Amino acid sequence: MAENDAPLSLTSTKMNLGREQTRRWLDEVILPNARALAKLSFFACLPYPLIPDAQRQLEGSGVSAGAQNCWHSDGAATGEVSAGLLAELGCGQVMLGHAERRRLFHEDDSLIARKATAAAGAGMTPVICVGEERRVAARSADAHVAEQARRALAEVPARHPALVLYEPAWAIGSAHGAEPGHAATVLEALRSALPRPATHFLYGGAVTPGTYTALRARAPWHGVAVGRAAQDSGVLHEVTDELLAAAP
């Protein structure tokens, strides 16, 4: 968990913000909230070319820049960026297995597991994205999601830090996320499948002010991933305050 066991939080900008837009977003939205965000161990997963600039801009703020993907080895994989190279750049976190990569690039659990193992070996925290593709009953989703996470972390040492981000594909970009009861059932399956002391579980998908409070009332989630809402200073401030209020 974060400072004083506060909830955790992160965001990903995908490719929605260019270089100058990212600079302004960090300057106008993230840095003014940095003191509070740092208490949540907040980080932003950015496109590869934007990471060095962001790291310089965020230096000393307590907020960090992570990556949205990596490759599992160095060498002959033209166009890819290895976990080792990201670690050399100072990345501490890397998102793996996002629903869009599973859909667009046909990434499967085996490939994601190799990436997660490489990321951990390079000293980074793998952020494993899991979730069902379509709306189904919780008791249909839970086994599928738990198996995704179990396979992804199978070769990562149990005491190495890892985040599992439950983000149903159908909730991405939607106005409505998973119901708290549905998410609670999935979390129960995840915790049962992954009895790992250094693994934390986050929810993502249509996160807005009030989402974490509703989720936490039903299950012990460790935090949330904020999507488009993180680009709005007022909304991000509300979500941040909500998370900090939940700290013990």
98 belongs to the catalytic site: yes
User: And the tokens for 38?
Assistant: 């740092």
Residue 202 pLDDT > 70, yes or no?
yes
Residue 209 pLDDT > 90, yes or no?
yes
- Annotated catalytic residue, options 98, 182, 200, 222: 98
User: And the tokens for 77?
Assistant: 């994989």
Beta bridge partners of 127: 95, 163
Average pLDDT for the chain = 97
Please tell me the predicted confidence (pLDDT) of residue 20: 99
Tell me the pLDDT tens digit for each residue of 43-88. Answer: 999 999 999 999 999 999 999 999 999 999 999 999 999 999 999 9
Residue 3 pLDDT > 70, yes or no?
no
Q: Are 32 and 11 contacting, i.e. CB atoms less than 8 angstroms apart?
A: no
**Mean pLDDT for the stretch of residues 147-176:** 96
Q: Are 82 and 71 contacting, i.e. CB atoms less than 8 angstroms apart?
A: yes
Please tell me the predicted confidence (pLDDT) of residue 4: 58
- Annotated catalytic residue, options 167, 182, 222, 242: 167
Please tell me the predicted confidence (pLDDT) of residue 120: 99
Distances (CA, A) of 168 to 53, 54, 171: 31, 28, 5
First to last CA, the chain: 11
Secondary structure of residue 228 in the 3-state scheme: helix
59 belongs to the catalytic site: no
Q: What does the alpha-carbon distance between residue 142 and residue 185 come to, in Å, rounded to a whole number?
A: 7
State the burial class of residue 159 (Cβ atoms within 10 Å of its Cβ: 0-12, 13-18, 19+).
exposed
Residue (of 212, 201, 206) closest to 161 by Cα position = 201
Distances (CA, A) of 66 to 153, 162, 234, 247: 19, 13, 23, 24
The residue behind tokens 């965001």 is: 11
Q: What is the pTM of this model?
A: 0.97
Q: What does the alpha-carbon distance between residue 95 and residue 226 come to, in Å, rounded to a whole number?
A: 14
Beta bridge partners of 200: 163
Q: Are 244 and 40 contacting, i.e. CB atoms less than 8 angstroms apart?
A: yes
Question: Which residue spans within the chain are E strands per DSSP?
Answer: 8-12, 43-46, 64-67, 93-96, 125-130, 162-166, 199-204, 223-226
Ordered by start, the domain boundaries in the chain are 3-242
Sign of CA dihedral 239, 207, 99, 117: positive
May I ask the CATH class of domain 3-242? alpha beta
Tell me the pLDDT tens digit for each residue of 225-247. Answer: 999 999 999 999 999 999 999 99
For the chain, give the percent of residues with pLDDT over 70: 98
Please tell me the predicted confidence (pLDDT) of residue 2: 64
